[in-house]
């Protein structure tokens, strides 16, 4: 489940990034006072994970609010990426943070190191 961002379809990446930025920026609650550039920076690290799952694992976009992708078996997946390594504590904290509003069944985690995304694990929501 590791991947290189350079192998992601650039048009798909741009489309999903733009959709996410627009959705967040149009919602004052989601925007949280951030500029469009700050929103872009925040979402840009995780969107490649969604694109990877769509492009290489037959997932489709989840059109539900706060949804990321849906696997062919119907499982809803939230993608989280960070520059830091995800340990059990950080993964569990993230699940607790998002479980009240996120429609997904599981969260998949990656660590971004340059162009590489290193898979860190999955947790049920």
> Which segments of 28-78 does DSSP mark as H helices, in order?
28-31, 36-44, 47-57
- Cα–Cα nearest to 85, from 44, 121, 45, 123: 121
How many domains does the chain contain in total? 1
Which residue range is the domain that position 107 belongs to? 3-124
pLDDT bin (cut points 50, 70, 90) of residue 66 is confident
Global pTM exceeds 0.85 = yes
pLDDT tens for 17-49 read 999 999 899 998 889 999 999 999 988 999 999
What is the average pLDDT across 100-118? 97
**Angle (CA) 116 114 125, round 5°:** 55
């Amino acid at each position: 489940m590791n991947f290189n961002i350079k192998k992601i379809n650039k048009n798909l990446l741009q489309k999903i990034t733009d959709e996410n930025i627009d959705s967040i920026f149009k919602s004052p609650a989601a925007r949280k006072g951030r500029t469009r550039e700050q929103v872009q920076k925040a979402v840009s690290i995780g969107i490649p994970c969604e694109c990877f799952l769509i492009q290489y694992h037959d997932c489709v976009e989840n059109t539900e609010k706060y949804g990321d992708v849906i696997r062919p078996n119907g499982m809803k997946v939230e993608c989280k990426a960070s520059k830091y390594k995800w340990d059990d504590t950080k993964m569990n904290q993230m699940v607790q943070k998002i479980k009240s509003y996120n429609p997904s069944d599981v969260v998949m985690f990656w660590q971004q190191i340059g162009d590489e995304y290193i898979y860190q694990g999955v947790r049920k929501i």
